[in-house]
Amino acid sequence: MKTLSENKCFGGVQGVYSHDSRVTGTEMTFAVFMPPQAEDGPVPCLWYLSGLTCTHENAMTKAGLQAHAAEFGLAVVFPDTSPRGESVANDEAYDLGQGAGFYVNATECPWAPHFQMESYIAGELRDLISEQFAVSVYHGITGHSMGGHGALTLAMKYPGQYQSVSAFAPIGHPAASEWGRKQFEAYLGKDETAWAGHDAALLLKEKGWAGDILIDQGADDQFLELLRADALSAALVETKTSHAYRLHHGYDHSYYFVSTFARDHVSWHAERLIG
């Protein structure tokens, strides 16, 4: 692991690091905020998965999570959204390829050699974080848009690894949305049965979630139809999943929306990870 930068931040340290990933076959960059409480021992860990076009840096600089994480004593991990590099497959569209990994393990060419983001986030990077940073065994996961999709699906697929989950404006039913169908066909192939394991609305019915879920959604989100918030909300009710689904009038899809409700999410996770 290489240290690219470390800065004092709200009494803790905001660092940016890179490592050679065995899973993606590329160098991966990620960021970690360690709160001041980590000086006294391991702290719970909150994962923040970003949306389309983002790197590790977007949420690190725009979401304002560090102040809240320092208040409640949580580490925060900001992974990248995809593998990157000249040898990595890409597409001219913003919503496919580099910056648009969708947190799945691709099975189709030319994506399969590097786009293994599910295994990277839930496996390799988690192991690296646990080895290199003072984090406890208690982990929560959240994210925005494509990252909200990733947070919900990974939490349900790996329930033993995450004790809490929330999302900001998640892509809730990608198998029935242009933000999902296009990418799933490219990464996973035309067999739609393979897509169900990466769709929060469908996973709720198949696997469910034993805990509760916090979701914040802007009512004036310019991408509301693509997110299929209606399908996710219906699935939460149908499966009787304990949840708080909050619709906020006047808010859009931007980081102004995310940063407005960031403290609520950090507090939510802290209550479930620390007690």
Set out the domains of the chain in order of their start, with CATH numbers: 2-274 (3.40.50.1820)
Catalytic residues: 145, 221, 253
Q: 48: part of which helix (H) or strand (E)?
A: strand 43-49
Per-block mean pLDDT, blocks of 10 residues, the chain (275 long): 98 98 98 98 98 98 98 98 97 97 98 98 98 98 98 96 98 97 98 96 96 98 96 97 98 98 98 92
Whole-number Å distance between alpha carbons of 146 and 155? 14
Q: How far is CA 160 from CA 14, 23, 38, 86, in A?
A: 27, 21, 23, 36
Task: Using DSSP, state whether 193 is helix, strand or coil.
Answer: helix
- Report how far residue 40's alpha carbon sits from residue 165's, in angstroms, rounded to the nearest whole number: 26
Chain centroid to Cα 258, Å, comes to 13
Cis, bond preceding 42 (omega within 30 deg of 0): no
To which H or E segment does residue 270 belong?
helix 255-273
pTM of the model: 0.98
Dihedral angle computed from the Cα positions of residues 113, 114, 117 and 121, in that order, rounded to the nearest 10 degrees? 110
Q: Which two tokens stand for residue 260?
A: 């407005």
Predicted pLDDT of residue 275: 74
The H-or-E segment that residue 69 falls in is helix 65-72
Q: Report pLDDT for 191.
A: 96
- Residue environment code for 128-157, b if the CB has 16+ CB neighbours within 10 A, otherwise e: bbeeebbbeebbbbbbbbbbbbbbbbbbbe
Q: How far apart are CA 143 and CA 114, in angstroms?
A: 22
